[in-house]
Structure 1
Amino acid sequence: MSKIINQMPPSFSQKLVTHKPSLQEDNRRFLGFTIGDSLNALIPLMDLRATIKISLAEILPVPKMNESLLGIINYGGKATWVLDLAHLMGGSGYLSKSQLTTGMGMLFQIQNETVALLIDRVGTIETYDLQQCLPIGEAMFADRMRSFLSGYFIDAEQQSRVVIDIKQVIHTII
């Protein structure tokens, strides 16, 4: 069974309610993660609904679908699509790593569907100034990958952090 991992103790979550981030703060916060072995990526935190641990054995394959759609899982009593983000972006894909039995799912609500992007691990919440978001150059990535990116930031260690365009990712598979 998929398990929510981002739950906090009641006393901690009650303290969080006292500070509601402004829209400007929400637009600046991103969840960091890695795609494949080395691509550092970000997803706008305001788009994220939850992060869950997914057992690969729980994914029910659905025939005749986009090969990046691994299948569905039961999450909260509803069918939730599981998408291999690395494969969709042109990488070798999550299931090619035969030693893995679980992964992390980042859940997004798109229209009436819940979609989980399957990745290796979730990183930290990071804050960036949207004014500092740089455009993706044509020579930086292959066309397939570039179509899913909305820009990138340079972090404190001078590493690039690409921003995933979640609407474009979902639009491609629906």
Structure 2
Amino acid sequence: MENKQKFLSLNLGTRDTAVISLQQITEVFQVSLADICGVPQMPSCVLGIYNWRGEMLWLVDLEEMLGYPPVLQEANLLSNMMAIVLEREGKHLGLLVRSLMDIEWLDSNQIKPPSAELFYPAMLPFLQGYLINSAEEMVLSLDATAIIQSPMWAINN
């Protein structure tokens, strides 16, 4: 039995693709790096706070969090990046990403569990698993709940 759900697909690193279930996404918007207020003594993947709808939204470099080189190494302060706002039980977290691709219907039953041989250790806690798409490429399925509940920012929420 198929279990089709809508996922937002995005680029990770130079050649990887990841998806996040649309059910866990509140909003997607463009953010200027100059508008992010840095916060000292945070993990380097935490870029800072952004004023989102009058609330403080923590913004995180998704790639750096998952063990890729930081997106900001290539960006300058005038760059606009895309932010994905995840929501879980009233908590929000913004993920800064290089670029968004598409909204896709995927069969969540096709998602295979992640294995330590295939992925960076930093990535494993945040993965639901992976699937192979029609182009025979591996697509990472990110676990929005695990990302929001990560101990990295538990102290701040």
Task: Normalising by structure 1, report the TM-score.
Answer: 0.80
Q: In structure 1, which of residues 37, 43, 67 is the aligned counterpart of residue 20 of structure 2?
A: 43
Residues 80 and 113 of structure 1 are in contact (CA less than 8 Å); yes or no, is this contact kept in structure 2? no
Q: In structure 1, which of residues 48, 67, 71 is the aligned counterpart of residue 44 of structure 2?
A: 67
CA deviations on 1:73-109 (whole Å, 9 max, x unpaired) are 1111111110101111111112111446110000112
1:101 aligns with 2:79: yes
Equivalence for 1:31: 8
Rounded Cα–Cα distance in structure 2 between residues aligned with 1:36 and 1:126: 20
Q: More relative contact order in 1 or in 2 (CA 8 Å, sep 6+)?
A: 2
CA drift of 1:111 comes to 3.7
Equivalence for 1:146: 124
Equivalence for 2:57: 80
Rounded Cα–Cα distance in structure 2 between residues aligned with 1:45 and 1:98: 27
CA deviations on 1:6-45 (whole Å, 9 max, x unpaired) are xxxxxxxxxxxxxxxxxx65xx110000112122000001
Rounded Cα–Cα distance in structure 2 between residues aligned with 1:120 and 1:98: 9
Structure 2, unpaired ranges of 5+: none
Query: What is the CA RMSD across the aligned residues, in angstroms?
Result: 1.5
Identity of aligned residues (%): 28
Gap change, CA 1:130 and 1:113, over 3 Å in 2 = closer
The 5-angstrom pairing of residues 90-169 of structure 1 reads 90-99=67-76, 101-169=79-147
**Local SS of the residue matching 2:39:** coil
CA deviations on 1:130-158 (whole Å, 9 max, x unpaired) are 22111112210121112211111111111
The 5-angstrom pairing of residues 9-24 of structure 1 reads none
Rounded Cα–Cα distance in structure 2 between residues aligned with 1:147 and 1:55: 29
Q: Find runs of 4+ consecutive structure 1 residues off by over 6 angstroms.
A: none
Rounded Cα–Cα distance in structure 1 between residues aligned with 2:54 and 2:117: 44
Structure of greater Rg? 1
Residues 113 and 130 of structure 2 are in contact (CA less than 8 Å); yes or no, is this contact kept in structure 1? yes
Q: What amino acid is the match of 1:168?
A: A
Rounded Cα–Cα distance in structure 2 between residues aligned with 1:30 and 1:147: 19
